[in-house]
Amino acid sequence: MSLHQAEFQIHGGIHPPENKTQSLQLPLGRPSLPERLILPLGQHIGQASRPLVKVGDKVLKGQAIAINNGFLSSFLHAPTSGEILAIDYHGVPHPSGLDEVCIELQPDGNDSWTELTQLDNWLELPKADVVAHLAEMGIVGMGGAGFPTQVKLAGATKHTIHELIINAAECEPYITADDMLIREKTEALIKGIQVLQTLIEAERTIIGIEDNKQTAIKLLVDEIERTKATIDVVVMPTKYPSGGEKQLIQLITGKEVPSGQLPADIGVMCQNVGTCVAIYDAIYQGKPLISRITTLTGDAMGQAQNVEVLLGTPIAHLLDYAAFNSKQLERLVMGGPMMGFTITDSQVPVVKTSNCILAASKQELPTPAPEQACIRCGMCEQACPASLLPQQLLWFSKSQEHDKAEHHNLFDCIECGACSYVCPSSIPLVQYYRHSKSAIREAREAAVKSDHAKVRFEARQARIEAEAAEKEAKRLASRAKAAASAAKRAADLSANEDAKTRAQAKAEPKAEAKDDNQAQIKKLKIDIAIANTKLKKTTKQLTQAQEAADLEQINTLTQAQKEQQAVVSELEQALAKLDTATNTKAKASAPSTAKPAVSDAVKKAKVDFAIASTKLKKLQKQLSQDDTNTDIAQQISEQEAVVKTAQAALDKANSETPQAAPAAKTSSGMSADLKKAKIDLAIASTKLKKLEKQLAADESNSDLQTQLAEQKKLVESAQADFDKLNTAPKESSVSQPAVQVNSDDLKKAKIDLAMASTKLKKLNKQLEQEPENEDLKAQISQQEAAQSNAQARLDKFNNTNAVAPVKEAKAAPIPASDEVKKAKIALAMASTKLKKAQKKLAEDSDNQTLKEQVETLEQETKQAQITLEAITNSPKAEITSEQKAEETAETKKLASQEVKAAPAASKEAIKKAKIDLVMASTKLKKVQKKLVEEPDNQELIDQVKLLEAKHEEAQNSLDALNAPDTKPQAEKEEVKPSTNPEIKSAKADIEPKTSLNDAEIKKLKIEAAMAKASAAKIEKAVKRAQELELDELADLTSQHQASLARAEQLAENLKAAISGENVTQNIKAASEPEPKASSISDSKKSLKIEHAMAKAALNKVLLSIRRMQDDGASEADITATNLPQEKAEKERLLAQVESQMDQEDTLKAEQERIAKRGPLTKPVPTAKPKPDDLLPELPSFEHLDESERAAESKKQKIAAAMAKAKLMKLQIRLDKEPDNAKAIRIEMDQVRIEQKQAQRILAKLNDLSVQEKD
């Protein structure tokens, strides 16, 4: 710690009248609760908070009532307990005078706190968790801007911070809120700074304070020396505006922040003293930011003072508390006279950044003189702390030359008002600069919107022209083709054929219209893809702007994002309408004659060609994103060869397909049931792969695991149905009169249904984020109608394709009915909802609504289970003996086929076993990682054991599937391990373990690594405890030694296991350190406490007498205060207590302490006490012999130890009882005097012993 003057200077600056003594005459006041509290949602810079409560809710003090609404936002908490009256617009303290959304709270007078969450182990937690806790406590910068603290601390992770500067300058006149805070909460301030030191890891921490706060400087220096904190105090000359961020950095470090950059870019971070105290409250007491110290001053205030006021308190309530005189009021200002703004409504509330309320009279803030012409004196340039040219900026602002104003660094102006203060022409320079800044921001936003609109317009025009050209080309080609075809058919065909040709020509316009609709649909899909890409790009830019805290870019990009979302919604609506129209026309103009069937070879060739083309397009898209990737280029060349081969195969299949007459056409492909089963199997398999991919990305998602298990069952069921139909004998079927729907229409109906369902899910997700968006609700209604139409079309096609069973043919196996599927789906959905509700109830066990919801969902789940069992267990139709015989023969045939298909089945089983093994390994690693962080968590240890058993079981299953089946059964039985734990333990006791298998060695490796990590973690805690001189150092040291021993023993066993040696030693987990044995009985402890209290009372009286003597009081004056009589009484009580103390027990306690911690060779480092001139004089010990000195030395050691213990107890009381802080601090000072006196006596006795030896 060092105290020195500032070495650097800033350009300009002024010295207005301070007027700070008026508000420092009275102690810190605490106004009563107002009738209502007005809490604006935007008490910080950035996005306003989002409410968590509704009208009529009951809230507790400290409960979160609004959550952060984006990257640059903050939480808001209830300053007291009460009821939410309204959430509506209300006046807020802002220069614009506009209303904002506020939460109105009516206090109930109980002031009941919610449950507070303290971070007692914040040193052991990750820094990200501590920063997240500060964000949840609503901590923002309290110096004026209200910048969210978690965002500023996040900058420390992107930059190396060399200097952490704590701003205690408070340079503006009248304001003394920070001065009073330092006086009242010095200890909390230093502890809050130490938290920031740990989070930021700056090389140097400096408190910058002006030299007009001598009392605060002395308290800071004393507290820093007492706590031995590594904090420097730099005293700066009183000059306005030395408290500005950039000016403070230049004064202390000599560094200048470049234009357009932040302090973090040059390795500096600034925090306000109020923010540091709020951080202390959040970490050590778990209290959110619900109050602050505000200065009430001005001639119109009858009692100017500083008050600790709840956020949301109306200013009128504070004016009444300070005996406000409205007759003397000229202007009511929020803030100081230099940078504050006028308030016209006294009902506006106090917010997190309200540091002063100035009720100025006409003499303090007279009416500004009329503006006159500039005389070019240059005084504004000399006063500007940012080294700007205010005169030039004035000309550019008046002439609307914004480009030149920006070129002259207009945005570097901090609007401190120094130029206006010194201007002899009374020109309101700051107002001109603010107007120019606003105009420039509006021009930037308009330019961005214009560019965005221009891009949209050009894209629309290009799209319209391309669509028109494409339509015209198609029309011309279609007409030319129709004319040529008609001419050729007219020459070659007969009259009959000519009539058919004319009929076909009539149908061609419909096909042409269909082609046009398809082209429009394709174009709209492309436009939607382009719009989504632009939306993602805009969202990414918005995220970057939020991280950079660029408010102008944030506002502009937010508007652009909303416009792009509107464009996407319009395109999707247009596509949905076009799809509906196309489907309606297709239904109305369905052809009466079926198209000629395509052979299986042609179908297969088409599918292969489509798959190859899709893969090629994906590779080309990847190459466009990464032009330098040679691997993708090689894959594209190979895929192009595959596409050419598939194209050749398709052409060959088309040429070889015979053109059979329609009358003689017979069904040569697979049956409709087989096709349906194949499609169902493909869809189920695709869904299964998607779920597996999602689960790999989010392994802890229980909903995905449930869906994956259900999807596996559906795939197995679909595979079984397909195998049964595929292996059934193909008999000649009798021609059916039923009309078959085109397979392309059926596929299109399924695709339409899938697209409609996907869009509906997206819209529902968007509605969850914006529940009050009426446009989204309308879109959802339209999409639900579209989904219903798609489902109806698909059901119609499926019913049309259903073929009546033939009597001669054998009935195919009946798949699971729709009722069974619906019942299973209902059961799965009810179970999922029940799990989610139970999870929420576990987090909020007192929520009665959640309990009722869980009970309702349990009943629904039971009802769904009963319904499914009833449908599944329904009686089946009786089977005749002939059918039984046929089924027996079919079963034998299927059994023989299953034997042949065993390798394929084993592949599926191996794949499933591999997936189970991977999932078990992932879960095991995740829990092991948590166990490394919390090595003493018994629950995690049990989970690791359980997951290791599951992992071993999955590994054994996979090994069994991979192992060849040619081993004899006897050999397999010999390999199978015994499952009886008693037999295992008996064998382990009888036979020494000579070697370990791979699984046990792997487990031993994990244990050794975990033990090593635990030892390293405890070692770090030991070092931290040594730095802070914590009393837990002994316990942590013992834990560290035990952990090191266990890690070394595990490492030796691992080495022996790898080399094949015997591993017989049992390792026990590092146990917790044994509790300290109580060496003193309760009666002796109470006696010592009485002794310490009696001695403290005596020292208190002695200190009072000494102070009177220092003040020049005579003996008569001292005797008149009864202090000598009180001193005699306290000495008598102390002698009585000392006579009761047993010398032998005292010696025994001293020996136990020496055996445990070692002898004290030097005084224990403690907090610095008061100056020595306040301590009693030392008695002379030269007349004592060696044994008497030893006894006196032991007595003083015990006194010093007891004083230290009492200091710790008082510190705990101080943290728990902040209201009694003053009395507790006085008592702590007295205990420190006792401790210092005992140390001085010990030092003198040691010196005498050394002199005698010499």
Comparing C-alpha atoms, which of 710, 664, 657, 669 is closest to residue 687? Answer: 710
What are 171's two structure tokens? 């340079």
- Identity at 1081, one-letter amino acid code: S
Decide: 1044 and 1012 in contact? Cβ < 8 Å: no
Highest mean pLDDT out of 649-653, 736-740, 1133-1137, 1190-1194: 1190-1194
Check residues 725 and 33 and name the one with the higher pLDDT: 33
Question: Does pLDDT of 695 surpass 90?
Answer: no
Decide: 71 and 49 in contact? Cβ < 8 Å: no
Question: Does pLDDT of 1082 surpass 60?
Answer: no
Check residues 34 and 774 and name the one with the higher pLDDT: 34
For residues 289 and 279, give the distance between their C-alpha atoms in angstroms, rounded to a whole number.
9
> What is the DSSP annotation of 1201-1232?
HHHHHHHHHHHHHHHH-GGGHHHHHHHHHHHH
pLDDT confidence bin for 1085, thresholds 50/70/90 = low
For residues 1106 and 988, give the distance between their C-alpha atoms in angstroms, rounded to a whole number.
77
Question: Does pLDDT of 731 surpass 50?
Answer: no
Decide: 881 and 840 in contact? Cβ < 8 Å: no
For residues 141 and 279, give the distance between their C-alpha atoms in angstroms, rounded to a whole number.
11
| Mean local confidence (pLDDT), 748-773 | 76
The CATH homologous superfamily for domain 3-360 is NADH-ubiquinone oxidoreductase 51kDa subunit (3.40.50.11540)
- Phi and psi at residue 709, in whole multiples of 5°? -65, -45
| Mean local confidence (pLDDT), 1061-1069 | 50
pLDDT for the residue 1164? 38
Check residues 393 and 578 and name the one with the higher pLDDT: 393
324 beta partners? 301
| Mean local confidence (pLDDT), 192-219 | 92
Instruction: List for the chain the helix, strand, coil content (%; round to 5).
Output: 60, 5, 30
Question: Does pLDDT of 1070 surpass 70?
Answer: no
Decide: 1194 and 1146 in contact? Cβ < 8 Å: yes
235 beta partners? 5, 209
The residues, any chain, with a CB within 8 Å of residue 478's CB and separated by 6 or more, are 508, 512, 515
| Mean local confidence (pLDDT), 1145-1149 | 53
What are 668's two structure tokens? 């040569």
233 beta partners? 3, 207
Preceding omega of 366 cis (within 30 degrees of 0)? no
> What is the DSSP annotation of 812-877?
PPP---HHHHHHHHHHHHHHHHHHHHHHHHHH-TT-HHHHHHHHHHHHHHHHHHHHHHHHHTPPPP
314 beta partners? 349
- Identity at 796, one-letter amino acid code: K
Decide: 894 and 727 in contact? Cβ < 8 Å: yes
The structural domains of the chain, with segments of one domain joined by +, span 3-360, 428-589, 600-656, 685-729, 741-802, 817-873, 904-1059, 1082-1253
The least confident of 98-102, 147-151, 515-519, 1241-1245 is 515-519
For residues 1099 and 1230, give the distance between their C-alpha atoms in angstroms, rounded to a whole number.
7
For residues 191 and 1131, give the distance between their C-alpha atoms in angstroms, rounded to a whole number.
38
> How deeply is 483 buried, as exposed, middle or buried, from its count of CB atoms within 10 A (0-12, 13-18, 19+)?
exposed
What are 791's two structure tokens? 């489902």
Check residues 199 and 992 and name the one with the higher pLDDT: 199
What are 689's two structure tokens? 């792969």
Question: Does pLDDT of 87 surpass 90?
Answer: yes
pLDDT digits (tens, 9 = 90+) for 1133-1146: 777 777 666 444 55
Q: Is 235 helix (H, G, I), strand (E, B) or coil?
A: strand
For residues 1198 and 529, give the distance between their C-alpha atoms in angstroms, rounded to a whole number.
80
The residues, any chain, with a CB within 8 Å of residue 725's CB and separated by 6 or more, are 671, 673, 674, 677, 812, 813
pLDDT confidence bin for 699, thresholds 50/70/90 = confident
pLDDT for the residue 964? 46
Decide: 683 and 753 in contact? Cβ < 8 Å: no
pLDDT for the residue 744? 62
| Mean local confidence (pLDDT), 42-53 | 91
Q: Is 423 helix (H, G, I), strand (E, B) or coil?
A: coil
Question: Does pLDDT of 792 surpass 80?
Answer: no
| Mean local confidence (pLDDT), 1202-1227 | 82
305 beta partners? 296
Question: Does pLDDT of 1170 surpass 50?
Answer: no
The least confident of 111-115, 436-440, 601-605, 949-953 is 601-605
Please give the biggest Cα pair distance in the chain: 149
Angle at which helices 702-727 and 881-900 pack, to 10 degrees? Answer: 110
pLDDT digits (tens, 9 = 90+) for 887-913: 444 444 444 444 444 444 456 677 677
| Mean local confidence (pLDDT), 519-538 | 81
Give the strands of the sheet with 64-67, arranged side by side: 50-51, 64-67, 76-77
pLDDT for the residue 1029? 60
The least confident of 109-113, 609-613, 656-660, 1109-1113 is 656-660
